[in-house]
Amino acid sequence: MAKNNILAEIKKVYDQLDDSFDALYAECQTDEQKRRLRSLFASARDTYFAAAAKALTDKNATVDALTKELHGVNDQVQGQLADLKNVVEVLNLCTEAVKLAASLATLAAA
Amino acid sequence: MPPAIRRIRTYPFNFALRAALGAVLAGLASACTSANLQSAVALGNTGVRTATTYQQAISALSPGLDNFVEGQYMLTALDPEKYSPPTDSLLDSINKLQSALRARAALLGQLARVYSGFIALASYDASGQVTASLSALDGAIDNYAVAVGSGAPAISPTAAAAITGGSGFLATEYQKRAVLKASEAISARLQATLDLLNSENSIYAGLQDEITRGLRETALALWRHGIGAPDAILTEQIGSFGLTYSPDSYLRACATDSGAARAQCQTRFNQAIAAAIRYRASEIATLQDETMRANQTALSALLAAHKQFEKGEPLNLAAVTQQLALIRSVIDQINRARRK
């Protein structure tokens, strides 16, 4: 059974105990039975939250790795923007040089 | 000396410059990229909204878990036959859940930051920067011509336009390639993020459901013990046709009856208020579930939009924006259900 299905089953046990608690309580003949029912309900609650926490923390390493990767992508994108600005600067310089060369040629011919 | 000349003396058109230009041109030698920068900006903006909306949905679970724990304390006091106070085990689980949820929210926050960078890359006016630089150069060349006593135009308008336009084109092409590369890098991580969140979506939905159940039970227990006023619920009912609800008038419910009839009426009235609370809790649980699924669908549609963008196809962000609009509307409904 997949992990999420197991968690769903654990949740179902907790919810069913919650929903039918009053009816079950009314059926209890002794204080001990009532105490056990209350204890079962608390255990079902704690088990569900423990299972949910485990299901998420099991994937924390994946989450951390992905967050780092996205951080890397962000650096990469920032780097690309810096590169783009450098290229624009190079193009500006090249173009200035070409235009100036052309203008000097024009002036020399005048 | 005109600034342009000074700059060119500082950066002579030497081998290094030629090599740099050569590298740029070589990179652009193949066919032009079909990436559309305006589409990239739209994709980036939608990406920021999608990541932020999902982040908010996950972040909202943590305070909900705190409310759940506080509710358990109250329920233990008000209904000790059923409830037990939070155990160390429960508190430890809640801490672990909150820590894990913070990590997921941080992941989505990082995704939003990546999209902000993507927007900056796509919206940088590379071509405009080249053109702006050249317009300043024109004046410098004219000054130079005057200084050397030549009345002839330093450079023909046609040649200037060709040089400026060519440089602008190269800058834009370089930018399009950078944006395309960034989109591909984001897509790969978006797929992994989508897979992860998809595998955990039922866990978030389950937690949300338990938080809402806990809040409902706490509200009902408080109401049964005479704490809380149903004024907001009654105001909605009575205000529909012009009547005004007077604060605390629920305390006079069944006042027209007497004796056993009055007690029965009050019991039924209290049960009706409890039923209304249960109905609202159920409505909120359904809406919250819908929000989580819409977030997942929006992220999935965002990934599909990246693929369209990378193939040079027209970008269709309608699927994402529809889901984001749905989430907004559902959140409004949840807020209405809470304060009704």
What ipTM does this complex have? 0.85
pLDDT at B273 over 70: yes
Domain tally for chain B?
A: 1
pLDDT for the residue numbered A93: 84
Non-local (6+) Cβ contacts of B172 within 8 A are B37, B126, B127
CB contact under 8 A, A53 and B97: yes
% of chain B residues with pLDDT over 90: 57
- Residue B21 belongs to a domain: no
* Lookup: tokens for B233: 């619920």
pLDDT at B139 over 70: no
In tens digits, chain A (110 residues) has pLDDT values of 677 789 999 999 999 999 999 999 999 999 999 999 999 999 999 999 999 999 999 999 999 999 999 999 999 999 999 998 888 888 888 877 877 777 777 677 66
- Residue B140 belongs to a domain: yes
Which of B8, B90, B160 is opposite residue A49, by nearest beta carbon? B90
- Say how far apart CA A93 and CA B9 lie, in whole Å: 11
Q: Between these two residues, B247 and B303, which has the higher pLDDT value?
A: B303
Confirm or reject contact between B196 and chain A (CB < 8 A).
Answer: yes
* Lookup: tokens for B11: 């950066």
Mean pLDDT of chain B: 85
In whole angstroms, how large is the CA radius of gyration of chain B?
A: 32
Sorting pLDDT into bands at 50, 70 and 90, what band is B9?
Answer: very low
Task: Read off the pTM.
Answer: 0.83
Q: Is B249 helix (H, G, I), strand (E, B) or coil?
A: helix
Non-local (6+) Cβ contacts of B166 within 8 A are none
CB contact under 8 A, A77 and B170: no
User: Would you tell me which residues 197-226 of chain B have a C-beta closer than 8 angstroms to some C-beta of chain A?
Assistant: 199-200, 202-203, 206-207, 209-210, 213, 217
Q: Is A30 helix (H, G, I), strand (E, B) or coil?
A: coil
**Residue numbers in B near A54 (CB within 8 A):** 96
Of B73, B53, B39, nearest to B298 by C-alpha is B53
- What is the length of chain B? 340
Sorting pLDDT into bands at 50, 70 and 90, what band is B93?
Answer: very high
- Could you list the residue range(s) of the whole structural domain that residue B204 is in? 3-7+35-339
Sorting pLDDT into bands at 50, 70 and 90, what band is B156?
Answer: low
Least confident range from A90-99, B42-51, B175-184: namely A90-99
pLDDT for the residue numbered A29: 95
pLDDT for the residue numbered B146: 67
DSSP letters, B180-220, are HHHHHHHHHHHHHHHHHHHHHHHHHHHHHHHHHHHHHHHHH
pLDDT (average), residues B125-138: 74
Q: Between these two residues, B227 and A108, which has the higher pLDDT value?
A: B227
CB contact under 8 A, A91 and B21: yes
pLDDT at B5 over 60: no
pLDDT for the residue numbered A1: 62
- Residue B131 belongs to a domain: yes
- Residue B171 belongs to a domain: yes
* Lookup: tokens for B44: 């980036």
Q: How far is CA B181 from CA B177, B227, B243, B307, B311, in A?
A: 6, 60, 63, 12, 12
Q: Is A32 helix (H, G, I), strand (E, B) or coil?
A: helix
Q: How far is CA B338 from CA B33, B57, B72, B119, B289, in A?
A: 51, 17, 20, 37, 16
- Residue B22 belongs to a domain: no
- Say how far apart CA A67 and CA B290 lie, in whole Å: 26
Q: How far is CA B142 from CA A77, B134, B159, B280, in A?
A: 39, 13, 15, 77
- Say how far apart CA A101 and CA A95 lie, in whole Å: 10
Sorting pLDDT into bands at 50, 70 and 90, what band is B4?
Answer: very low
CB contact under 8 A, A90 and B17: yes
pLDDT for the residue numbered B299: 95
CB contact under 8 A, A53 and B121: no
| Torsion-angle region of B228 (φ positive above 0: left; ψ -120 to 50: alpha; else: beta) | left
Q: Between these two residues, B128 and B186, which has the higher pLDDT value?
A: B186
Q: Tell me, what amino acid is at B3?
A: P
* Lookup: tokens for A104: 């000097």
pLDDT for the residue numbered B242: 83
Of A52, A104, A34, A33, nearest to B210 by C-alpha is A52
Torsion sign over Cα B177, B178, B179, B183: positive
pLDDT for the residue numbered A63: 94
pLDDT at B86 over 90: yes
User: Would you tell me which residues 174-193 of chain B have a C-beta closer than 8 angstroms to some C-beta of chain A?
Assistant: 174-175, 178, 181-182, 185-186, 189, 192-193
Sorting pLDDT into bands at 50, 70 and 90, what band is B1?
Answer: very low
Which of A48, A91, A99 is opposite residue B170, by nearest beta carbon? A91
Of A45, A26, A46, A25, nearest to A36 by C-alpha is A25
- Residue B133 belongs to a domain: yes
pLDDT (average), residues B78-89: 97
- Residue B27 belongs to a domain: no
Of B165, B190, B171, B53, nearest to B121 by C-alpha is B171
CB contact under 8 A, B104 and A78: no
Which stretches of chain B are DSSP H helices? 3-10, 15-27, 37-59, 61-78, 88-123, 126-147, 157-224, 231-238, 259-311, 318-339
- What is the length of chain A? 110
Q: Are A60 and B103 in contact (CB under 8 A)?
A: yes
